[in-house]
Amino acid sequence: MISEVGESDARWAADEFINYFKNFTTIEDYLRYAKNEAIGKRTTMLPGCSHKDDFLNEDIHPEEMEFEVKAVGDRFDDNISQKQFIEYLTATSSHVIEHNIPGRELRWMVYEKRTQRIMGFIRFGSPVINSKPRNVWLGEPANLSRFNRHAVMGFAIVPSQPFGYNYLGGKLLALMCVSHFAREEVSRVFEKDIALFETTSLYGSTTSASQYDGLKPFIRYKGLTDSKFLPLLHKEAFHRLHDRFTYLNDNQPLTSNAASSKKMKRQTKMISLIRNSLKDQEKLKEFNDVISMAFNLTQRKRFYISDYGYSNIREVIVGEQEELVRGPNWDKFYLENIIKWWKKKATKRYEKLKREDRFRTKVELWTEDDDIQIIR
């Protein structure tokens, strides 16, 4: 593995990073740029057709709504295809969608039952290995064997728009994730005994609210994640740089193709090589300043958990107790009770928007709109 490159290559690579990141002043700028770069101008629709027809935008009182969850993948009856899920989620979410995440996963699309229009997306997966707020809550780092037997993470909990805006749609999807219905389905698919749900906010510590706030006793805030991270280069910018460094490294990639988080590790290695190689101190300072600025685009994320109504999941994970015990809030976590709870909140929101003439009917899709109003 190379430890340095030539001065001309180092200067060129430094300028690639500088020119990419100097355009962003906020994380919203970065998300918009990365998303638009990822989707480009492509469309899979015929002229005159639109995916917007598939998303909920009707004026329906929350009390009149009913919901249907459709699982994604060939292993389920009446399933949604993986391709369709990715296509619709890509159109809806501001994130660049990873087609695969490590470990087991379960994907859902949620529909309003009467209209058969899409309301949102849910993606369950294996939790991250280490988390500072989780360790603080447990009182120690988790025993991974016990923890993995009982825990699941929500990686994408994304309402369609305007459903999310009009009806607190993100809160409904989050609540669905912590229902007994979800717990039982994830337990069955993952072949585990799920009793703990984790997720993190889209925005970080400088943003005053998240769709997961105000959902006690179902979901509780447990602190901020420990570290910032450098946003990733995307598409052409990343491949242009890594292709050059691969060539300079005797045509070997900077990390194994089997490595976890290989893109982040390769980007980190490229930055290290630039710093080790640049002799031009003025250019090195410019490069370091831009990388430091890019680090500051990201924030420590808000970390949330749900115990699904169990009273002793912490004690079970740390090994103090063996059997899970149902707590006093157990019945509240049945899906029908969760939906009743949400409908009261959504009704207040809906009626307020109607009174103030702020109810929205425009479906927002990244693949069809240039003026997305809500980053989600």
Residue 125 in contact with residue 153, Cβ under 8 Å?
A: yes
Look at the chain and count its residues: 376
DSSP 309-329: TBS-HHHHHTTS-SS--B-TT
Structure tokens, 105: 């996963």
Structure tokens, 312: 């002793």
Alpha-helical (H) ranges within 229-334 are: 235-248, 262-277, 281-295, 313-317
Read off the pLDDT of residues 75-101 as tens digits, 9 standing for 90 and up: 888 779 999 998 899 888 866 656 555
Read off the pLDDT of residues 132-162 as tens digits, 9 standing for 90 and up: 999 999 999 998 999 999 999 998 999 999 9
Predicted TM-score of the model (pTM) = 0.82
- Stretch (H or E) spanning 106: strand 105-112
- CB count in 10 Å sphere of residue 194: 21
User: 110: which strand partners?
Assistant: 69, 120
- The two beta strands, 105-112 and 220-224, are unpaired
The Cα 44–Cα 83 span in angstroms is 12
Read off the pLDDT of residues 104-122 as tens digits, 9 standing for 90 and up: 899 999 999 999 999 999 9
User: 224: which strand partners?
Assistant: 302
Residue 80 in contact with residue 109, Cβ under 8 Å?
A: yes
Read off the pLDDT of residues 239-269 as tens digits, 9 standing for 90 and up: 999 999 999 999 999 998 877 678 889 999 9
Structure tokens, 361: 């009917």
Domains and CATH numbers, the chain: 7-32+230-295 (no CATH), 52-228+298-355 (3.40.630.30)
